[in-house]
Amino acid sequence: MGKLDDDQSDSFGYYLPDQELVKRHIKTAGATFNDIVIIYDRDKDAFLVDNNKFFYGGIHFKNHDYTISMLEPKVYQDEYGQDDEDSAIQFEYRTKEFYISDPTYKKILRETRCLLDINELASLAQEVWVDGSLYDSKTVT
């Protein structure tokens, strides 16, 4: 409890009747969004802690459990399958425009970073596209 933030005004909870789970999404100290889930398993009478589920809303609707991401405009079916979507996560960041040396020459700097944790059974395929053309590709195992 000492690791939790004092302001839990954005926290929420819901019940998954088909799995007998009660979930409470809350913030750890210093977090700006819900970053930890306290789960109570009614069948086993046990508490569990889950992380990496950044949600701000959840509902049980027509025998399915849905949650809303705090990080991107997506709705996930909670507790379904291995990774909710079973597909690649596509995203794009655009940097601000930098003007280096002669101000009449416009320059755009590009950078990629890959920060992740995967287990020994997983592999990650990364493709970097620049201006509609494949610039680089790499497979991380």
118 exposure class (CB count in 10 Å sphere: 0-12, 13-18, 19+)? exposed
Whether 31 is in a domain gets the answer yes
Whether 6 is in a domain gets the answer no
- Would the pLDDT of 92 be above 60? no
What is the pLDDT, as a whole number, of residue 110?
65
Q: Which residues pair with 134 in a beta bridge?
A: 129
**Could you tell me the pTM of the whole model?**
0.49
Our measurement of the distance from residue 80's CA atom to the centroid of its chain's CA atoms, rounded to an integer in Å, reads 15
| DSSP code, position 7 | -
Residue span of the structural domain in which 115 resides? 12-140
First to last CA, the chain: 37
Span 125-141, average pLDDT = 83
- Would the pLDDT of 57 be above 80? no
Domain count, the chain: 1
Span 14-18, average pLDDT = 81
Whether 67 is in a domain gets the answer yes
Cα separation, 34 vs 11, in Å, equals: 7
CA distances to 17, 24, 60, 90, 131 from 134, in Å: 46, 42, 42, 14, 8
Whether 35 is in a domain gets the answer yes
Span 61-74, average pLDDT = 76
Cα separation, 25 vs 39, in Å, equals: 9
Whether 46 is in a domain gets the answer yes
User: 139 pLDDT band (50/70/90 cuts)?
Assistant: confident
Q: Which residues pair with 75 in a beta bridge?
A: 68
Whether 5 is in a domain gets the answer no
Whether 64 is in a domain gets the answer yes
Whether 1 is in a domain gets the answer no
What is the pLDDT, as a whole number, of residue 3?
82
